[in-house]
Amino acid sequence: MTSTTFAESDKIKVLERIGNTPIIELKSYSTDKVKIFAKLEWYNPFGSVKDRAAYWMIKDAEEKKILKKDKSIIIEPTSGNTGIALTGIASYLGYKVEIVIPEKVSEETKNILRKLGATLHETSDDLCPRVGAGTDQSIALAYAISKPRPEIYYMPNQYENESNYLSHYQSTGPEIWEQTQGKVTHFFTGCGTGGTNTGTGTYLKEKNKNVKVIAIQAQKNHLLQGLRNFEESAKPDLFIRREKIVDEWYTATNQKSFEMVKSLAKREDILVGPSSGSVMASMLDYIDNYDEGVFVGIFADDGRKFQSLYLEQNLFSEEEYRKYLTSCKFLPPLSY
């Protein structure tokens, strides 16, 4: 067997594992009539909801013959998870990846990216003009690097790329519908590009127009990696195209999100990332107004990338964090 055939079979195995993530009931928060479910997106092979968008965007560029094996460089502005997904997937498919990333993203995330083989360009106010907060600077820098060299660089641009939306319309939405046997009444997700929200929300509303879609943004000046505040930084084009899908908005605070990370570890034995804490906080606030319903939230990534943040914020002591790493359920082996 040649190394090429080995890589081919390996590639199929890993890429086949994108999607079909488990959904679990959070029983300590559910009641007889109010059922709360979390869709555990960290079961994707590269650890987050963004595997879906990354895979769909790469497949689309391959179909359009934009990407050339062993020649093209994929460059993308991202707060981490899209970068991890793109780099992981691209490493199986023969493309190099450069990631433009805000420097405040956790060191663990940056280390994973480096380990997977990405070249990182970190943005700071010194490095490039401030056209907006956080990831907006990254977008400007990624354009500046890629635009003059279109024969080498390909920027999927998750903030505009329709394949990001389609990945959720074609996978996350149908999965939730089937996993709840069509009983879902409310869908909650944090918003970065809006791909998860609009893709999943559109599919679920097509199945049942009464499903409510709740979009979660972060507070200003936040620590909730993956989310945005839409006053602080512009709403992406991808989101603007279908933002009417959103029935209600919720703004997650750092404090409430972190409290929920802690509460989920204690009550449900799951170690989640900050944005899952935001989703949980918004679900619990909404549920106060309902006597019944099936509430489904996207838990975008787990807590294994956030040790430094969680210790810094005094969420857990080092000992507690280590204990949760071994005692928590639903932490599959990592692919990196």
Ligand X SMILES: Cc1ncc(COP(=O)(O)O)c(C=O)c1O
Distance CA 196, CA 193 (A): 8
Stretch that binds ligand X, among 2-10, 129-137, 176-184, 186-194 (CB under 6 A): 186-194
- Give me the residue label for tokens 């990945």: 167
Stretch that binds ligand X, among 11-19, 31-39, 225-233, 286-294 (CB under 6 A): 225-233
By CB under 6 A, is residue 45 in contact with ligand X? Answer: no
By CB under 6 A, is residue 300 in contact with ligand X? Answer: yes
Residues 6+ apart with CB under 8 A from 124: 103
What phi and psi, each to the nearest 5 degrees, are found at residue 204? -65, -40
The distance from CA 178 to its chain's CA centroid, rounded to whole angstroms, is 21
Size of the site for ligand X (CB under 6 A): 21
Cα distance between the two ends of the chain: 25
Stretch that binds ligand X, among 120-128, 206-214, 219-227, 260-268 (CB under 6 A): 219-227
Distance CA 219, CA 190 (A): 12
Stretch that binds ligand X, among 11-19, 24-32, 47-55, 204-212 (CB under 6 A): 47-55
Choose, by CB under 6 A, the member of 135, 171, 185, 275 that binds ligand X. 275
Distance CA 74, CA 144 (A): 14
Q: Which is nearer to ligand X, 34 or 247 (CB)?
A: 247
Q: Binding pattern to ligand X, positions 119-158, x when CB under 6 A?
A: ----------------------------------------
Residues 228-267 that bind ligand X (CB under 6 A): none
Residues 6+ apart with CB under 8 A from 191: 197, 215, 216, 217, 227, 228, 230, 239
Stretch that binds ligand X, among 44-52, 57-65, 88-96, 143-151 (CB under 6 A): 44-52
Distance CA 281, CA 288 (A): 11
Distance CA 99, CA 97 (A): 7
In angstroms, what is the minimal distance from the CB of 312 to ligand X? Answer: 18
Distance CA 66, CA 122 (A): 26
Residues 197-216 that bind ligand X (CB under 6 A): 197
By CB under 6 A, is residue 21 in contact with ligand X? Answer: no
Choose, by CB under 6 A, the member of 21, 72, 82, 161 that binds ligand X. 82
Q: Token pair of 255, please? A: 């404090």
Site residues, ligand X (CB under 6 A): 48-50, 79, 81-82, 190-197, 225-227, 273, 275, 300-301
